[in-house]
Amino acid sequence: MKNICVVGTGYVGLTTGTCFADMGNHVVCVDIDQAKVASLNAGSMPIHEPGLGEILVSNLKAGRLTFTSSYAEGLKDAHFVFIAVGTPDDGQGGADLSQVRSAAKSIGEHLDHPVIVVNKSTVPIGTGDLVTSIIDEYRRPEARITVVSNPEFLREGSALHDCMEPERVVLGSEDAVAMEAVEGIYAGLGAPVIKTDLRTAEMIKYASNAFLATRISFINEVAAICDKLGADVKQVALGMGYDSRIGPSYLDAGLGFGGSCFPKDVKALIRMARDSGQHPQMLEAVMEINRDRRRWVIDTLVLTLGTLKEKRVAMLGVAFKPNTDDVREAPALDLIQRLQNAGAHVRVYDPAAMENAAAATEGVDFASDAYSAADSADAVILVTEWNEFKNLDLVRLRRLVRRPVLIDGRNVYDPAAATDAGFEYHGVARGIPPRSLPVIESETRARG
């Protein structure tokens, strides 16, 4: 059993702290948000993360997990301090390190014994050294520290699973003994451990996220070409994915990536590249292609409806992906803004993210389910592929709308079924419209 302090109780800190407690450690989580701390101590989840609430409550009851806003309390007797605060976009493409700086300062001010400081936040290369220097500036002489980088790879929506069954653990430090001590925390999980230096560990996280974002932009670029040439990108991705050198994941053409990680991390890597004299042309294209996906929705609507002025648009899903309530950098928010700028009225339904969406938008109506969102709409846009949208009764939906325009931004529906239900269906590069297919087949046969 280790005494672990986790600083920051967002998606990463809360999941990490709860899982470490569940693994038998004594965990104290520190967060400056006092309201959040109070509700967490009462067993109430501030975020939507499947399965995490139950583990939180059982570990609170077992006395292995507590929450506080006091650094002194959190650091008392700690062997390890994990920093898991936010590193959002600073507005100029770089990572805003103010939360990390402030956490490091507070750790330095309140620490009274040696600890290993573990950086779990996604931070630009070199931040491990920055954290060391800030803590060194404020700490007492006896409170010696070693910093280890341990980037986090969990995905919102499956955070509990990813934390308990990581595909790899990455550790970076100049101190092999400290790294081994951190490795000990993960020993029971059976994951491969990559031990390297601080900067390389920090880069592994950025390179991983940038690569996944690149796959998404790649398939979206292929989709744009498929769209012009009449190929079905969903089948193309399927055909590619069986190749073991390629694999099937992150090849879903759609409205592009969002969320609190990919956009800001790709931008931060671009910034790091530029600052170091490089020209990150591929990463820039990744971001540009991603922006174009949202334009496609507006262009398609304008082509179909003529003008968006006074048109009613139903949006199914606002979370940046299913199984989360997170709307940070969600494609839906960008779309809402573009639709409103064009004069449309937007009504949204999302199973979990409407509260966060209400805080992030103005002038949006919220509905209690997909059907009431679609009532009298001039167009329906599927933005987030929640399971509950996959089996909607399209005939019922068709009866409710004012105009039968369906934009399937995640290629969830069968184009033929949507067309048969009476919709004018617009998926992302779904190939030749179903009713034209026999012509193509007979031409092929004639040629053969």
- Shortest Å, Cβ 177 to ligand NAD: 26
Burial class (CB in 10 A: 0-12, 13-18, 19+), 428: buried
- Shortest Å, Cβ 268 to ligand NAD: 9
- Shortest Å, Cβ 210 to ligand NAD: 13
Contact 258, 331 (CB under 8 A): yes
- Shortest Å, Cβ 392 to ligand NAD: 28
Rank residues 31 and 329 by Cβ distance to ligand NAD and give the closer one: 31
Give the footprint of ligand NAD on residues 71-100 (CB under 6 A).
84-87, 99
Give the footprint of ligand NAD on residues 29-58 (CB under 6 A).
30-33, 36
Rank residues 106 and 217 by Cβ distance to ligand NAD and give the closer one: 106
Q: What SS3 class is residue 7?
A: strand
What whole-number distance in Å separates Cα of residue 404 and Cα of residue 423? 5
Rank residues 196 and 304 by Cβ distance to ligand NAD and give the closer one: 196
Active-site hit among 19, 163, 226, 261: 261
Q: What is the widest separation between alpha-carbon atoms in the chain?
A: 85
Cα–Cα distance list, 190 to 16, 48, 119, 151 (Å) = 17, 27, 21, 17
Q: Which helix (H) or strand (E) holds 293?
A: helix 281-305
> Could you tell me which stretch among 1-9, 59-67, 288-296, 370-378 binds ligand NAD (CB under 6 A)?
1-9
Q: Is residue 297 a contact residue for ligand NAD (CB under 6 A)?
A: no
316 closest CA partner among 304, 298, 331, 305: 331
193 closest CA partner among 169, 165, 161: 169
Q: Which helix (H) or strand (E) holds 421?
A: none
Size of the site for ligand NAD (CB under 6 A): 27
Catalytic site includes residue 19? no
What whole-number distance in Å separates Cα of residue 330 and Cα of residue 361? 12
Q: Is residue 9 a contact residue for ligand NAD (CB under 6 A)?
A: yes
- Shortest Å, Cβ 356 to ligand NAD: 11
Positive/negative CA dihedral, 414, 418, 420, 424: negative
Contact 15, 163 (CB under 8 A): yes
Rank residues 7 and 379 by Cβ distance to ligand NAD and give the closer one: 7
Strand partners, 169: 193
Q: Is residue 68 a contact residue for ligand NAD (CB under 6 A)?
A: no
- Backbone angles phi and psi of 220, in degrees to 5: -70, -35
Site string (101-130) toward ligand NAD, x via CB under 6 A: -xx--x--------------xx--------
179 closest CA partner among 134, 139, 128, 140: 128
Q: Tell me the residue length of the chain.
A: 448
Site string (365-404) toward ligand NAD, x via CB under 6 A: ----------------------------------------
Contact pick of 4, 111, 216, 261 for ligand NAD (by CB under 6 A) = 261
Q: Is residue 334 a contact residue for ligand NAD (CB under 6 A)?
A: no
Rank residues 202 and 378 by Cβ distance to ligand NAD and give the closer one: 202
- Among all chains, which residue has been given the structure tokens 């999980």? 189
Q: Is residue 13 a contact residue for ligand NAD (CB under 6 A)?
A: yes
> Could you tell me which stretch among 149-157, 184-192, 224-232, 392-400 binds ligand NAD (CB under 6 A)?
149-157
Question: Which positions lie near ligand NAD, rule CB under 6 A?
Answer: 7-13, 30-33, 36, 84-87, 99, 102-103, 106, 121-122, 152, 154, 156, 260-261
Active site residues: 261
